[in-house]
Structure 1
Amino acid sequence: MSPADLGTALAYLGSAIGVAMVIPQILRIVRHPHMGGVSPWTWAITVVSCTTWIAYGVRTGSMPQIPGNILLVSGAVAIVLLVPAAWSRAVRAVGLALTTVAMVLVSTLLEPEVAGFFALAIGLTGMWPQVFETVWLRRGMGPSAISLTSQLLKVVSQLCWLAFAVLTLDVPVLVAAIMTLSTNFVITGVEMARRRGADARPEPTRTRELVGAEA
C-alpha cells in the first residue's frame, strides 16, 4: 500500500469517527437539556466549516472530505438547535442556513488551494468559542454538558486526519488537525478537572453538580 493509499484509508477512518463523535454529545444534551457548557457558536461554525471543506473536497478531488463532512454537518446542525441559547431555534436555523450558503459561494470564487485555507480559517475560528465557554465563562462552576466520549472520539478522528495530511502533504488539513487537537486537549483537560473536583466534594454540596456529570 502506497503512502497516499494509506493516508486516504486513514482519512476515511477519521471521517467515520468524526461522524460518530456527535452522537454521544447529542444524547447528553437530550438527557440534560438544562445543563449548559456546550457552545452553540462552535457547532454553528463547525457546520459552515465542514460545508466549505466539502466544497474543497469536490474541487480538489479529495474524496474523504465529502461523505463524513456531509454527515457531520447534520449532527452539528442538530446540536446547534438543541443546546440552550438566547436565540430561538427558528432564528438559529435561518441564520445558519444563510451564513453557510454565503460562505460556500465565497469558497467557489477562490482557487482550490486557497479555498482549503478558507475552510481552515473558518474552522480555526470555530474552536475558540468553546474554549472561552469552558475555560472562562464556566470558571468556578461544576461539570458541563460536554460529552467526554465525544471529546475522545474527536482526538482519535483528528489523529487520523493528521496522518492523512502528513502522508499526502495536505497543508490546510495538517494545520487544521494540529490546531483542533491542541484546543481539544485544553477543553477536555479543564472539563475532566472539574468533574474530579465535583467527585471529591462531600454530599450534599456536589449532589446537583453530579447530575449527568458522566458522559
Structure 2
Amino acid sequence: MEPYVPIAVLGLVAAVIGIIGSFPQVVRLMRASHADGVSFASAVLGLLSTATWLTYGVTLGDPTQIVANVPTLVAAMMLVALIVRRAGAPVGRAVAGILGWGAAIGLVFLLGGVAAVGTAAAAVSIVRQVPQVRLAFSGAPLDGLSPTTYLFAITSGSLWTAYGLALGLVPVWANALIAVVLSAAVLARRCPPRRVIAALDAGRWGSPGRLLVRPVVARVATA
C-alpha cells in the first residue's frame, strides 16, 4: 500500500468525525428555547472559517477538504440562523462581515494564491474560538453549549493535526492543533472534570461509567 493511502484515509476519518460533530450543537439549539453560552461571534467566524477552508480545498484540489467542509458549512449556517432566532443576535453586522470577508479572500487568492488562502483560513479558524473561550470563562450560563460537539471537535482536530503534519500542510495542522486546545478549554468549563467524574461514579452512564472512573476515584480516596 502506498504511503499516501493511509494518510488520505486519516483525512477522511477526520472529515467524517468533524461533519458529525458539527450537528449536535445545531440539534441542541433546535430543541432549546435559548442559546445560553453559545457565542454568536464565534458562530459567524466559524461560518467564515468553514467557507474559507472550502475555498482552500477547492483551489488546492484536495477532495478531503471539500468533503469535510461542504456539510460543515451547512451546519455553520444553520447554527448562525438558530442563534439569531433564539437570542435575537444582530444580523446586519454579521452579513456585512461575511460579504467583506468573501471579497477579501478573493483578493488574497489573486495576490497570494492557494498558500495565502490557506493562511487566511488558519488565521480566521484560530480567531473564531476566542469569543467562545472568553464567554466560557466569563461565568455566564453555558447550558446552550453541546458537550458532544466539543468532544467530536477535539477528536477531529487531533486527526487533522496528524493529517496536516503527514502532508506538510502547515495551515491545516497549526489550525487543528490550536482548535484542539481551545475546544478542550471550553469543554472543561462546560463540563468540569470533577463534576463529570462524580456523575459517572454516581451511575450517570451505568456500570461502564463507574468502571471508567473507578481508578480516578480510588486514587483520590487514598490520596
| TM-score (normalizing by structure 1) | 0.81
For 1:92 and 1:26, how far apart are their aligned partners in 2? Answer: 22
Supply the distance in 2 between the matched residues of 1:122 and 1:30 (Cα, whole angstroms): 26
Q: Match of 1:115, as an amino acid? A: V
Distance 1:143 1:196, change over 3 A: farther
- 1:157-188 Cα offsets, whole Å, 9 max, x none, are 11221111121111111100110000011000
Partner of 2:106: 105
**Residue 130 of structure 2 is aligned with which of 111, 128, 143?**
128
- What secondary structure, in the 3-state scheme, does the structure 2 residue paired with 1:66 have? helix
Greater relative contact order, per chain length (Cα 8 Å cut-off, separation 6+): 1
Instruction: Tell me, yes or no, if the aligned pair for 1:52 and 1:107 is still in contact at 8 Å.
Output: no
Q: How far off is 1:92 after superposition? A: 6.7
Cα offset, 1:129, TM superposition: 0.7
Kindly indicate whether residue 115 of structure 2 is the aligned counterpart of residue 116 of structure 1: no
Structure 2 CA distance for partners of 1:126 and 1:196, relative to 1, 3 Å? same
Percent identity between the two aligned chains: 27
CA separation in 1, counterparts of 2:26 and 2:194? 20
Aligned partners of 2:46 and 2:125 also within 8 Å: yes
Matched residue count = 195
Please say if residues 55 and 107 of structure 1, whose CA atoms lie closer than 8 Å, have aligned partners that are also in contact.
no
The CA RMSD over aligned residues, in Å, is: 2.4
Select the structure of larger CA radius of gyration: 2
Residue aligned with 2:37, SS: coil
Is the 2:17–2:152 contact (alpha carbons within 8 Å) kept by the matching residues of 1? yes
Q: 1:194 to 1:135 in 2, by over 3 A?
A: farther
Superposition TM-score, scaled by structure 2 size: 0.78
Name whichever structure is richer in helix by fraction: 2
Counterpart position of 2:165: 166
Between the aligned partners of 1:149 and 1:184, the Cα distance in structure 2 is: 11
Q: Is the 8 A contact 2:18 2:156 kept in 1?
A: yes
CA distance in 2, matches of 1:142, 1:130: 12
Runs of 4+ in 1 over 4 A off after TM superposition: none
Where structure 2 has 5 or more consecutive residues not aligned to the other structure, the ranges are: 200-223
| 1:190 alignment partner, SS class | helix
> Contact 2:109 / 2:116 at 8 angstroms: preserved in 1?
no
